[in-house]
Chain A
Amino acid sequence: MLQLRNVDVCYGSFKALTDISMSVDSGELVVLLGANGAGKSSLFNAISGLNKPAAGEIEFEGKRLDGLKPSGIVSSGVVQCAEGRKLFPMMSVQQNLMMGAYVHRRDKAGNKQRLEDVLELYPILREKADQPAGSLSGGQQQMVAIGRALMSRPRLLMLDEPSLGLAPLIVRQMFETIQKINRLGTTVLLAEQNAFAALKIATRAYVMENGQLVMEGDRDTMLGNEEVRKAYIGA
């Protein structure tokens, strides 16, 4: 479904990503593990079109994504829920969610249905619908961010560290809903530092270090791998 071939990303003379080749198949939940600064967000931003890759190809459902504008990539069905959420803080929760449906703005009935689905996934947001998104707790803001991404009707949803800065209980619920979203048919690419929790719900995983992919394997291989355990799980 998503194919990256030999992708390089540079910031000026600094090479943030070197020779990244990876794939995500339809229906999978693929986890991207890596420490801070390993290049996970750079990779996501390259796929989303926020940074242009210096070399390589990015393909989604057979169509080249590199070179498209960010808006074109969202319309193609690849939607990112970024680290730090990037909500519209002064808009209400409902407006934030509806902005997610921007590329589908002509389909009013479809968006209404979609909004119902998101509110069913996160019932607490129904109560908070009229509050400014910036006034919500961290966990609720993360729900709005994921909900907003779902409103864009992704076929591939990329989640960048959704557990960052959340309390352990909230993190667990967060992973449960991510698994649910995946089971309902959305392919997920999840960047995480919280390796154990992420691997538990994963189909496959990649490990990223210093801008390179250094390991790949299915869930059980990764959970059993000595280096992964030492570096990311701490057991």
Chain B
Amino acid sequence: MNLFFQNIVNGLTLGSIYGLVALGLTLVYGILHIPNFAHGALYMVGAFMSYFFMVDLGVHYWIAMLGSAAVVAVLAILCERLVFHPLRNSPPIHDKIAAIGILLFLEAVVQMFWGADFRRMTSPFTGIMRFDGLIIPEQRALIIVGAIVLVIALQLFLRKTMTGATIIAMAQSREGAFLVGIDANRVAMMTFAISGMLAAFAATLYAPINLVYPAMGHVVIMKAFVIIILGGMGSIPGAIVGGMIIGFAEAFGGFYISSSYKDIIAFGLLVVILSVRPQGLFAKGAH
């Protein structure tokens, strides 16, 4: 019972992180049709920025998280302005090549400043909460609560504000959005900024129970792509549910089968789910 509960906590933790990363990826894909392979690099930069703010500048974890989100949001906007915007009328393959270019560039820059070493970032939440024999490490609880808060905040922004509605409008009908006078550039920059912030929040939440290193984005971005493919490209609920499915599959698969196979489980699930539902779990009606 206790171990089972532990696995649920682990599944929720992983699922929250994967979900947040996939959410940013799916937003950019759904609205701008860019498969942003560099999203994992934004995640990695997010972790390094928090590390920099906390360890080198000595600020508090929360401030570091906000600072990192701001830096990565600006970086994501720069990627959109300098790379993807000039390519908007090119064939889609150019976006993909450019995204891989950004990924390699960001990794090289980070490696230049911090080296390829694995680093540890400790958060102030190292305690353990006990509930009648059940154990939840504080950082894991923070990840789960943090993800829920971010998802709710994002939903409120998209559904309740006019600015958020422009993003939804652009996703449902690009031409319709132009016809009512929505500025495509503003929406593109905003979408990239939100996507970058989500990546930075996810990285900062996860870094204390993991390690910080330049290649840390690789596995995460692969899984985020698996998640948005099986959730339905561009679908927000798909990203969240897909993230949880992969998170739980890894937690339980890693425990009951073998932890060395845990990364394969995500890709195995992708094959199984896509052979049953090729359009993904939450295929979007609006396209």
User: Interface size of A by Cβ–Cβ distance < 8 Å?
Assistant: 28
Q: Given A50-B178, A86-B176, A91 and B168 touching (CB < 8 A)?
A: yes
Contact of B165 among A86, A87, A99, A149 (CB under 8 A): A99
Whether a CB of chain A sits under 8 angstroms from the CB of B175 is yes
Complex alpha-carbon distance, A73 and B180, angstroms: 10
Contact B179 A80 (CB under 8 A): yes
Contact of A148 among B175, B180, B183, B286 (CB under 8 A): B180
Complex alpha-carbon distance, A152 and B181, angstroms: 8
Chain A residues positioned under 8 Å from B162 (CB to CB): 102, 105
Inter-chain pairs besides A70-B181, A102-B181, 5 sampled, C-beta below 8 Å: A71-B181, A74-B179, A74-B180, A89-B172, A89-B285
* Chain B binding surface SS class: helix
Question: How far in angstroms is the closest Cβ of chain A from B19?
Answer: 21
Whether a CB of chain A sits under 8 angstroms from the CB of B70 is no
Chain B residues positioned under 8 Å from A91 (CB to CB): 165, 168-169, 172
The residues in B between 36 and 55 inclusive whose CB is less than 8 angstroms from any CB of A are none
Q: Given A48-B179, A69-B183, A80-B179, A99 and B169 touching (CB < 8 A)?
A: yes
Number of A-B contacts (CB under 8 A): 67
Contact A152 B180 (CB under 8 A): yes
Contact of B166 among A69, A74, A89, A102 (CB under 8 A): A102
Contact A50 B175 (CB under 8 A): yes
Contact A87 B176 (CB under 8 A): yes
Listed from nearest, the 9 A-B pairs whose CB atoms lie closest are A74-B181, A86-B176, A103-B181, A88-B172, A71-B181, A70-B178, A71-B183, A86-B175, A102-B180
Q: Given A74-B180, A103-B181, A134 and B175 touching (CB < 8 A)?
A: no
Chain B residues positioned under 8 Å from A89 (CB to CB): 172-173, 285-286
Question: How far in angstroms is the closest Cβ of chain B from A21?
Answer: 25
Whether a CB of chain A sits under 8 angstroms from the CB of B106 is no
Contact B181 A86 (CB under 8 A): no
Complex alpha-carbon distance, A82 and B178, angstroms: 11
Complex alpha-carbon distance, A50 and B172, angstroms: 18
Contact A75 B172 (CB under 8 A): no
Whether a CB of chain A sits under 8 angstroms from the CB of B100 is no
Whether a CB of chain B sits under 8 angstroms from the CB of A90 is yes
Contact B173 A103 (CB under 8 A): no
Question: How far in angstroms is the closest Cβ of chain B from A169?
Answer: 27
Complex alpha-carbon distance, A71 and B175, angstroms: 12
Contact B173 A134 (CB under 8 A): no
Question: How far in angstroms is the closest Cβ of chain B from A118?
Answer: 14
Whether a CB of chain B sits under 8 angstroms from the CB of A39 is no
Whether a CB of chain A sits under 8 angstroms from the CB of B182 is yes
Question: How far in angstroms is the closest Cβ of chain B from A79?
Answer: 7
Contact of A70 among B165, B166, B169, B179 (CB under 8 A): B179
Closest residue of B by beta carbon distance from A49: B178
Complex alpha-carbon distance, A115 and B169, angstroms: 19
Q: Given A89-B286, A95-B165, A102 and B182 touching (CB < 8 A)?
A: yes
